Structure 1
Amino acid sequence: MDIEADVIEFKVPTENNKTLFIWDILPTLPEAFIYESICGIFSGFGALYLVKVCPNAAVAEPGFYAIVKYYSSAQASKAQRATDGKSLFQESPLKVRLCTRQNPAFSSEVRPLSNSKCQELANRYLGFNGWSSRIITRNAVPVLPCCVKLQDLSGGDDGCSDTETQALALKFGCIVELAFPPHRSTCRGVGVAGESFQNLPDHLEVCLKRGKLKKWAKDKAMVDAFRNVLLVLLSNGKVAVECRFDPDQVLPDEDLKGLLKVNDVTWSGCEGAGEDDLLSELSLDVSCLS
Structure 2
Amino acid sequence: MDPEIVTFTIPTENNKIVFVWNINAQLPEGEIYCSLEKVFSQFGPLYSLKLLPNASVAEPGYYAVLKYYSSQSAKRAQAACDKKNLFQDTPVKVKICVKQKGFHYKSMELYGYRCQELANYYLGFNGWCKRIIALQNITGLDDDPEMESDPQKQGNLRYLCVVEVALPHHGVCSRGVGVAEERLEKRNDPLEYISKSGRIQKYAVQKALSNAFQKILLVVFDNGKVAVEYVSGEEDVDCLTEEELQGLIQVNDFTWAPKDSGEGGEDEEDWADFTLHEDTLVDL
TM class by smaller structure = 0.7 to 0.9
Residue 83 of structure 2: SS of its match in structure 1? coil
Q: Does 1:263 align with 2:250?
A: no
Using structure 2 for the length normalisation, give the TM-score: 0.84
Alignment-derived partner of residue 237 in structure 1? 224
Maintained 8 Å contact 2:184/2:193: no
Instruction: Output the aligned Cα RMSD.
Output: 2.3
C-alpha deviation, 1:263, in angstroms: 2.1
Alignment-derived partner of residue 19 in structure 2? 21
Alignment-derived partner of residue 195 in structure 1? 182
Of 113, 137, 145, the match for 1:152 = 137
Residue 22 of structure 1: SS of its match in structure 2? strand
Residue 106 of structure 1: SS of its match in structure 2? coil
Residue 37 of structure 2: SS of its match in structure 1? helix
Alignment-derived partner of residue 183 in structure 1? 170
Shift in CA distance, 127/284, structure 1 to aligned 2, threshold 3 Å: farther
Shift in CA distance, 129/288, structure 1 to aligned 2, threshold 3 Å: closer
Alignment-derived partner of residue 161 in structure 1? none
Structure 1, unpaired ranges of 5+: 138-149, 157-164
Maintained 8 Å contact 2:21/2:93: yes
Residue 38 of structure 1: SS of its match in structure 2? helix
Residue 79 of structure 2: SS of its match in structure 1? helix
For 1:127 and 1:249, the matched residues in 2 are separated by: 27
Alignment-derived partner of residue 47 in structure 1? 45
Q: Aligned residues, how many? A: 264
Aligned-partner residue type, residue 259 of structure 2: V
Aligned-partner residue type, residue 283 of structure 2: L
Aligned-partner residue type, residue 117 of structure 2: E
Of 111, 126, 132, the match for 1:114 = 111
Residue 113 of structure 2: SS of its match in structure 1? helix
Aligned-partner residue type, residue 269 of structure 2: D
Alignment-derived partner of residue 147 in structure 1? none
Of 125, 129, 135, the match for 2:132 = 135
Q: Deviations over 1:87-139 (max 9, x none)?
A: 111221111111244354333x11111112111111111111111110113xx
Maintained 8 Å contact 2:96/2:282: no
Maintained 8 Å contact 2:99/2:281: no
For 1:233 and 1:284, the matched residues in 2 are separated by: 33
Identity %: 44
Maintained 8 Å contact 2:133/2:163: yes
Aligned-partner residue type, residue 252 of structure 1: L
For 2:62 and 2:262, the matched residues in 1 are separated by: 34
Structure 2, unpaired ranges of 5+: 142-150
Shift in CA distance, 286/90, structure 1 to aligned 2, threshold 3 Å: farther
Maintained 8 Å contact 2:99/2:280: no
